[in-house]
Amino acid sequence: MRLLLIEDDPQLGKALYQGLKQEYTADWFKSAEEGEAVIGNTPYDIVVLDINLPGMSGLEWLQSLRNRKVELPVLLLTARDAPSQRVAGLDAGADDYLIKPFDFDELLARIRALLRRKGVYQESVLSYKDIVMDLAGRTVSKDGQMVSLSAREFEILRLLLENTGRCLSREQIEQKIYNWDEEFGSNTVEVHISAIRRKLGKELIKTMRGIGYIVVREV
């Protein structure tokens, strides 16, 4: 899952970004204009958007997105508790809102709820043959034995298992698991997949030459 955070407050934005990165691939920008520059070519699943931004406001950008039929779930963050502000946000196309200050666990719960509502359901456990991934506990086992994966290996395996039966290109995997502020080599995905195969079995992930990688659906 990839999340776009737009929050101009440097202290709050940094805290949210650090927390959200533990659960999602997350990008943090400080203005609607920066969000506009990336949203068209990045496969986001949800947007967390502050209302009071420098330049274009969060509400103005949200209205622009909805006018262009961009249907990503949007969770608004606002410091204003007036009913008129909440109504304005919902009328502009927001799916939900949180009033600052808020509890981070509530933010995560609302994000999960929006993803479920939009059909981007997150299973808590993924399984394939003798492999079990506990997403909440971030553990992986094979035939009942725990297997240690790096954070990046975990995310790649999660993405492939969530898309069992579908071939994903290297570029699609990169877009889902790397943040905008990260640098990576041209063969980084291949290196991680080789490590996953070494730990969980070489037959788990198939290479479709010239296309990408796939976990073949069981028949």
**Among positive and negative, which fits the CA dihedral 55, 178, 1, 152?**
negative
Residue 60, judged by CB atoms within 10 A of its CB (0-12, 13-18, 19+), counts as middle
pLDDT for 121 equals 47
Domains in the chain: ranges and CATH: 2-117 (3.40.50.2300), 125-214 (1.10.10.10)
pLDDT for 208 equals 92
CB atoms within 10 A of CB 52: 15
Instruction: Say what percent of the chain tops pLDDT 90.
Output: 59
Dump pLDDT digits (tens) for 63-111.
Answer: 999 999 998 999 999 887 777 777 888 888 999 999 999 999 999 999 9
Average pLDDT estimate for 49-65: 94
pLDDT for 40 equals 85
Yes or no: say if 49 and 98 are a contact pair by the CB < 8 Å rule. no
Strand partners, 96: 75
Dump pLDDT digits (tens) for 115-138.
Answer: 888 755 455 788 999 999 987 778
Residue 24, judged by CB atoms within 10 A of its CB (0-12, 13-18, 19+), counts as buried
